Amino acid sequence: MSNILMIVTGANSLTMKDGSQHPTGFWAEELVTAHRDLVAAGHSIVIATPGGVTPTVDRGSLDPSQAGGDAQARELAEYLDSIAGDLSAAVPVADVDAGDYDAIVLPGGHGPMADLAFDANVGRLLIAADAGGAIIAPFCHGPAALLSAKLADGTNAFAGRTLTVFTDEEERTGGTGENTPWWVESALRDAGAVIDSAASWSDHVVVDGNLVTGQNPQSSASVARRVINALAR
C-alpha cells in the first residue's frame, strides 16, 4: 500500500475576464474516478486543500448533461457522499510534508485556476515531491498547480518537462470560452513546459519520468491507472 496525497482546490468561484464570478470547485468525475480507482487498488489517500477548507464540488459536474446521464450523475453524487467525512477533514496544504507521500494527485475543475496555481505551499510541496522522486499526477485543469512551483531564481520547477493539460481549444469550445481569465495551456507553455496535446476530448496521458499528466476528464481513469502501475514498480 502506498500513501497518496490528493490536493484539491478550495475555491468555489473564479473571477472571469469581465469581472463576473463563475461558480466552480473540483470536477466530480475527476476526483471520484481517481479516488475510487486508487483506493480500490489498495492505496491510502489523504485529501489536502489550501487552508484545510472543505472542497466544493462544481455543481455543473453533477448535471446529467455533463456527467454522462442520470445514472452516472447519481453514482458520482453517491460516491462523494460516501467520502464526505474525508472531504470535510481535508488537511491544510501548509501542514503537509511531501516526504510522507509516494504520490501527489491533483484533479481539476476550474477551481485550481483560482487558488492552486498561485499557492506557494502547493509549489513547495510539488518541488519537494519532485526532488524526492514521488509521482506527481495532475490532470485536466489540475496542471495549473504546476505554475506555483517557482524556484528561487523565479523559474518554474517543471520547465522543460513534457506534459498535457486541458487545452486552450477545449477551454474555448467546452469550458469557460473567451471569458476565461487566463489560459492554462498557454501559461504552462510560457513557464517553459513542453505541451503534448491530442485531439479535443480524447483520452490522452503523458508520462515524463515521475510526472503523469492527463488532458481532460476523459483521461481521468487512464491517469489513475498509470499512477497505480507506477506505484507497483
In tens, the pLDDT along 154-170 reads 999 999 999 999 999 99
* CA–CA gap between residue 129 and residue 95 (Å, rounded): 14
Q: Where does the pLDDT of residue 15 fall: very low under 50, low under 70, confident under 90, or very high at 90 and above?
A: very high
Considering the domain 3-231 in this protein, what is its CATH number? 3.40.50.880
Give the model confidence (pLDDT) of 118-144 as tens digits.
999 999 999 999 999 999 999 999 999
pLDDT over 90 at 75, yes or no? yes
- Give the three cell numbers for residue 40: 480500490
Q: Sign of the CA dihedral 233, 38, 188, 173?
A: positive
pTM comes to: 0.98
pLDDT of residue 51: 98
* CA–CA gap between residue 113 and residue 129 (Å, rounded): 21
pLDDT over 90 at 69, yes or no? yes
Give the model confidence (pLDDT) of 193-226 as tens digits.
999 999 999 999 999 999 999 999 999 999 999 9
* CA–CA gap between residue 50 and residue 92 (Å, rounded): 6
pLDDT over 90 percentage in the chain: 100
What phi and psi values does residue 109 have, to the nearest 5 degrees?
100, 165
pLDDT of residue 233: 86
* CA–CA gap between residue 78 and residue 70 (Å, rounded): 12
Q: Is the CB of residue 126 less than 8 Å from the CB of residue 5?
A: no
Q: Is the CB of residue 126 less than 8 Å from the CB of residue 160?
A: no
Q: Who's near 233: CB < 8 A, 6+ residues apart?
A: none
Q: What is the mean pLDDT of the chain?
A: 98
Q: Where does the pLDDT of residue 94 fall: very low under 50, low under 70, confident under 90, or very high at 90 and above?
A: very high
Among 87, 17, 96, 92, residue whose Cα is nearest residue 54: 87
pLDDT over 70 percentage in the chain: 100
Range 86-89 contact pairs with CB under 8 angstroms and sequence separation of 24 or more: 86/45, 86/47, 87/8, 87/47, 87/54, 87/55, 88/54, 89/47
